[in-house]
Amino acid sequence: MAPALRITSVHCDRERYRDLLLLADEQWDMVELYLHRGEMFAAYAEDEPHTKADSALVADRTLGCMIVTDEGVDGRGFRIAEVKSLAVDPAHQRGGVGRALLEFAAQHAAREYDVLRVGTGDSPLTVPFYEACGFTRSHVLPNFFIENYDHPIVEAGVQLKDMVILERRLWLRKSRPASWVVAGVASRSAGLERPVRPFVRTGGYSLTVRNMQRRA
Number of domain units in the chain: 1
Q: Does residue 140 sit within a domain?
A: no
Q: Does residue 202 sit within a domain?
A: yes
Q: Are strands 64-73 and 39-45 parallel, antiparallel or unpaired?
A: antiparallel
CATH value at residue 51: 3.40.630.30
Q: Does residue 41 sit within a domain?
A: yes
Q: Does residue 161 sit within a domain?
A: no
Supply the range of the domain harboring residue 66.
5-114+170-209
- Residues forming beta bridges with residue 117, ordered by sequence position: 82, 167
Q: Does residue 74 sit within a domain?
A: yes
Q: Does residue 121 sit within a domain?
A: no
Beta strands in the chain (DSSP E): 5-10, 39-45, 64-73, 79-88, 115-121, 136-141, 154-155, 158-159, 163-169, 206-209
Instruction: Output the pTM of the full model.
Output: 0.76
CB 140 within 8 A of CB 162: yes
Q: Does residue 65 sit within a domain?
A: yes
Q: Does residue 163 sit within a domain?
A: no
pLDDT in tens, the chain (216 residues): 556 888 889 988 999 999 999 999 999 999 999 999 999 999 988 766 554 544 544 556 889 999 999 999 999 999 999 999 999 999 889 889 999 999 999 998 998 999 999 999 999 889 999 999 999 999 999 999 999 999 999 998 889 999 999 999 998 644 343 333 333 322 222 222 233 334 433 334 444 444 333 334
